[in-house]
Structures are given as structure tokens and as C-alpha cells.
């Protein structure tokens, strides 16, 4: 149950990375090496003496390599209980194998390379999983390694324990082995289902963490990471602050998604999974200020995300050391690809503020999943902004001149709950989300909300008497662009927008009433651009 001396090891690997060095380390610990086929040849060519597998099985490799390790002798050497079954093993002539180093036929590699069905079949490993599972089941007495990245720790354990391995290490290897074979079988099962026209999906998540609670305090919650080599949202590096909550994680995802794909310096301010502030430009501090100005009230307790390394000058905007505590801006999370040391030191003035490093552009996932009461929805990620930029009104929409602003607005709209309308504008060298109406069953209400929010922000920006406000509205709203996540079912949205001075509208089109909507634009002197792509977010 404690240390197990490693006297005999069976090495049979498809991925031969590091296997020579491992074998040399085992030999240095006076361990006999048993090996098969290509693995044995590689070791022998490196001058490492091995025992050929057939001398243990009593049978030759056969059927083009389909039969190599499967035998009574091999599985018995792995499976017998060293305490309970020692006498029986001795009477049967079974000599214990203490370590299995095995990774499986490269089924995934050949499948992703587009191999035909027969090649897929030949790359289904049978003997390997049998050995791995046998050793894993008997981990009290046997160690099993399926990942070359574990070789270094294996050697360190052997050297530290005079050629033996600890119970804790064997147990960790055991869990990894069972996950390895489970993933392998799941992958094969999905591929075989596909061959007969059946769609199946097996997802694998681990590293679960218990969260304080879910969306509300009476809901239990956990957080898992998908088993993949790709970067994950779960890889975010928390530099400072208290533990993340369920809602924090949802909002972090929303904040990052709203700046994903931007080629400018971008900042989003997210509350309840909607960006209440968003800006892009060439100056991080200015972009931060404009994003915050999108809705300073809602920004209280928000998530703030950046797509560029975070600088001290930018975070000073939060006034965390202001002597008047009411002037300090309260946010839950700040996230950026990298937080410069002096910026981190400043943010640490707030003991609970979570400071996180993660680059959204590393998160390249092509499928969204949503689990619903024993069912699962899967769809392509919404990463295609438009398939056309077609001006359809008498008054020409300057698609080329406004291309960057339109695409900024489309990135915003695809991150906002439907029905949604946004107003975006060019402000100096920056682009800003000026007004937003989100999550409305009625698109006209979303339009009203976006205009009201824009005017509220303009009032705050103007800081002058109402006499000057109307002229300011006309100038700023007249040059802004209104964007809808889906088509306008009626002309009333256009009529409302035009009455408020809006002169440029973007929508995907596709309604049976597109003609009437476009006619309304022509009658009201409004230009309209059709993008051909809807951006619903439910």
C-alpha cells in the first residue's frame, strides 16, 4: 500500500517521445524492460537491452500486429493481487510486471487526417487499453503511465525512493489512465456512430471546483474545465482578489466575447452579461473612459475587460486611493492579457477586486453548447459579422467610410441579449457604444431604450443647460449609426429613430416588409445598410 519497487516494466508506446530516456532511467534502477514491436526496435537501436514480449506471452506477434500483448501471462502479471494471490501466481509461473508505460494507437491523429474507414479500424487499439486498465485496476501494486509528460516525475520518484513508487503517485497515474481510455473509447464510439449516420457527442470535463453558490445563494454550483489541449476560459490566471463566483464567470465570458476580434485597443464594461459600455481606439485610458461613460450607473459592480496589456495610467481611472471613498469606482473583476506590475500594485489597493490575466484571442472555440433538462443544443459560434454591406436607400450609406464603426457595432450587438439595438459613434480617434437597448420582446422598446440611454449619456457629456442639448443631440445622433441584431418587422423603428435625428441604420434584412421599411427610410431621409447576417443572442 506504500512504496512499490519497480523491477519489471512493460513499454509499448505509439508516441515514442522520451521513451529512450525513460528506459535508460529504468535500467539504471535495475529494472527489466519488456517491450513490443516498434518500441522494442527503437530501444534496441539505442543500445537498451529489452525482453521481447513473446518470451513472456509464449506466443509470437500475429495477424499483422493485432495480437501482441493480449495473453493470460501478461494480464495475470498485471492483475494478480500481490498479497492475496502470490502463491497462486507462483504455481502458474506468473512473474509480476510492476509498471506499464503505454499510449494508444493514434486514432485521433489518423481520423483528423481524413483516413478512410479501414484505416480507422486498424487504428483501434485493443491490447493497449487492456494493459492500461489492468494496471490501473491493480494500482495498489502496479503503476501505469499513459502520458509522456509524466516521465520526468516518474524518474524523480524512482530516484527519490530507490527504485520504488509511492501510493499517492500510483493513484494519480491510475486516475489519468482511466480517463485516457475513457476518452479514447468515446472518440472511437463517436467516429463509428458517424460512419452509420448517427450523430453522437461525448464531452469530457474535469478539475471541478465547488463555487460558493450559483446565480443565487440557494443554488449549489461547480465549475469544470474541458479536457483539451486548447486554452480554456478556466485557465484564467487570478492575480489578486477573492474567489470567483458563478455570475463572475458568466460575466467574464461576456466581457471577453464583446471585445473578441477587435484589432484596436478595446475595453468592455459588462453587467448582467450585457456590455453596458464598450469602446475601441488607440489610447487605452481614453478607451476605458469612453466605455465607462456608456453607463456609469450600471458600471457599479461590473466586469471590465481589455484586449491589451493593462497599464497603470488606465487603472488610475478607478480612483481606488481617493480620500473620498464615494469617489472610488467599484468593479468586481478586471481582466487583460497581461497586467503590468505597477498596475497590479495599484489594483491591489482594493483587497477583494479580482485581477485576472487571460487573452481572449487565445480562446478559439468553434462550437457553443447549451444543456437543457437532459438535452443539449450545439451550434457554430457567432464569429461571422456580415456577408455583405449593401446600401439599399436613396440616400447612400457610406459603407466604406463607416466600415470600422459598423463592424464595431456588430461586435457589440452579437454580445447583447436580444432583442437588441445599439447606437455607436466615432468619438475622436475612438469608437463608442453610445446607447443600448437589450433583452426586449418588442424591438421598438429596444430602440426607445437605446435612444434614451444615448441622450442620457450626451447630457452627462455636455454638462450644459437644456437649451444647448437639442443641438448636441442633433449633431451626435445624426452622425451615429443605429444597428439592429435582426430585421425590422415594421417601419415604426425607422420612424422613431428618424424623429430623434438618427440618419444611419444598419440591419440584416430578410423581413417580408423590407420594402416598406426601406421606403420609410427614403421618405424620412435615412440611409440604410443591409448586412445579411442576424445576431440573435438568447
Distance separating alpha carbons of residues 112 and 199, to the nearest angstrom: 17
Regarding beta strands 32-35 and 390-391, do their DSSP bridges make them parallel or antiparallel, or are they unpaired?
A: unpaired
Listed as own residue / partner, the contacts of 194-201 with beta carbons closer than 8 Å and 24 or more positions apart are 195/117, 201/376, 201/378
Distance separating alpha carbons of residues 310 and 319, to the nearest angstrom: 16
Host H or E run for residue 379: strand 375-380
* Catalytic site residue from 24, 108, 137, 311: 137
3-state secondary structure string, 452-485?
A: HHHHHHHHHHHCCCHHHHHHHHHHHHHHCEEEEC
How far are the Cα atoms of 40, 278, 417 from residue 383, in angstroms, in the given order?
Answer: 48, 18, 16
Question: Longest C-alpha distance within the chain, in Å?
Answer: 104
- Strand runs (DSSP E) across 8-163, as ranges? 8-13, 32-35, 51-52, 99-103, 143-145
Active-site residue 272, yes or no? yes
3-state secondary structure string, 177-207?
A: HHHHHHHHHHHHHHHHHHHCCCCCCCCCEEE
* Catalytic site residue from 140, 272, 329, 395: 272
Nearest to 260 by CA among 395, 366, 351: 366
Distance separating alpha carbons of residues 22 and 150, to the nearest angstrom: 10
Active-site residue 141, yes or no? no
Cis before 434 (ω within 30): no
Q: Which residues are catalytic?
A: 137, 272
Amino acid at each position: 500500500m506504500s512504496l512499490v519497487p519497480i523491477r519489471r516494466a512493460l513499454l509499448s508506446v505509439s508516441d515514442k517521445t522520451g521513451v529512450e530516456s525513460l528506459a535508460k532511467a529504468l535500467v539504471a534502477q535495475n529494472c527489466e524492460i519488456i517491450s513490443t514491436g516498434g518500441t522494442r526496435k527503437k530501444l534496441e537501436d539505442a543500445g537498451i537491452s529489452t525482453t521481447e514480449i513473446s518470451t513472456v506471452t509464449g506466443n509470437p506477434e500475429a495477424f499483422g500486429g493485432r495480437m501482441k500483448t493480449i495473453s493470460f501471462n501478461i494480464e495475470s502479471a498485471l492483475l494478480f493481487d500481490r498479497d492475496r494471490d502470490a502463491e497462486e501466481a507462483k504455481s502458474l509461473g506468473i512473474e509480476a510486471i510492476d509498471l506499464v508505460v503505454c499510449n494508444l494507437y493514434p486514432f485521433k491523429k489518423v481520423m483528423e487526417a481524413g483516413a478512410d474507414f479501414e484505416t480507422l479500424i486498424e487504428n483501434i487499439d485493443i491490447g493497449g487499453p487492456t494493459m492500461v486498465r489492468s494496471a490501473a485496476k491493480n494500482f495498489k501494486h502496479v503503476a501505469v503511465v499513459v502520458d509522456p509528460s509524466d516521465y520526468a516525475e516518474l524518474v524523480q520518484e524512482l530516484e527519490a525512493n530507490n527504485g520504488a513508487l509511492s501510493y499517492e503517485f500510483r493513484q494519480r497515474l491510475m486516475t489519468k489512465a482511466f480517463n485516457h481510455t475513457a476518452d479514447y473509447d468515446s472518440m472511437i464510439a463517436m467516429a463509428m456512430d458517424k460512419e452509420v449516420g448517427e450523430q453522437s457527442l461525448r464531452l469530457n470535463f474535469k478539475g471541478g471546483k465547488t463555487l460558493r453558490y450559483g446565480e443565487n445563494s440557494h443554488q449549489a454550483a461547480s465549475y469544470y474545465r474541458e479536457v483539451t489541449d486548447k486554452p480554456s476560459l478556466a485557465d484564467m490566471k487570478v492575480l489578486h482578489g477573492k474567489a470567483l463566483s458563478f455570475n463572475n464567470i458568466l460575466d467574464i465570458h461576456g466581457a471577453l466575447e464583446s471585445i473578441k476580434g477587435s484589432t484596436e485597443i478595446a475595453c468592455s464594461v459588462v453587467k448582467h452579461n450585457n456590455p453596458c459600455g464598450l469602446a475601441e481606439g488607440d489610447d487605452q485610458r481614453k478607451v476605458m473612459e469612453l466605455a465607462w461613460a456608456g453607463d456609469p450607473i450600471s458600471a457599479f459592480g461590473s466586469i471590465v475587460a481589455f484586449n491589451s496589456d493593462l497599464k497603470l495610467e488606465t487603472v488610475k481611472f478607478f480612483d481606488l486611493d481617493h480620500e473620498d471613498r464615494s469617489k472610488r469606482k467599484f468593479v468586481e473583476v478586471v481582466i487583460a492579457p497581461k497586467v503590468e506590475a505597477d498596475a497590479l500594485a495599484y489594483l491591489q489597493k482594493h483587497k477583494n477586486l479580482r485581477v485576472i490575466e487571460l487573452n481572449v484571442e487565445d480562446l478559439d472555440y468553434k462550437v457553443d453548447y447549451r444543456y437543457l433538462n437532459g438535452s443539449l443544443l450545439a451550434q457554430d459560434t457567432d464569429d461571422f459579422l456580415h456577408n455583405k454591406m449593401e446600401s439599399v436607400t436613396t440616400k447612400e450609406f457610406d459603407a466604406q467610410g463607416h466600415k470600422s464603426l459598423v463592424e464595431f457595432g456588430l461586435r457589440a450587438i452579437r454580445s447583447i441579449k436580444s432583442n437588441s439595438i445599439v447606437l455607436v459613434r466615432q468619438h475622436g480617434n475612438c469608437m463608442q457604444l453610445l446607447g443600448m437597448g437589450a433583452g426586449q420582446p418588442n424591438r421598438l422598446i429596444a430602440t426607445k431604450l437605446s435612444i434614451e440611454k444615448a441622450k442620457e449619456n450626451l447630457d452627462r457629456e455636455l454638462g450644459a443647460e437644456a437649451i444647448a442639448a437639442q443641438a448636441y443631440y442633433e449633431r451626435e445622433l445624426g452622425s451615429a449609426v443605429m444597428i439592429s441584431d435582426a430585421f425590422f418587422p415594421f417601419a415604426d423603428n425607422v420612424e422613431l429613430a428618424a424623429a430623434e435625428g438618427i440618419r444611419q441604420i444598419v440591419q440584416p434584412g430578410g423581413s417580408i416588409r423590407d420594402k416598406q421599411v426601406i421606403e420609410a427610410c427614403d421618405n424620412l431621409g435615412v440611409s440604410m445598410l443591409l448586412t445579411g447576417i442576424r445576431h440573435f443572442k438568447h
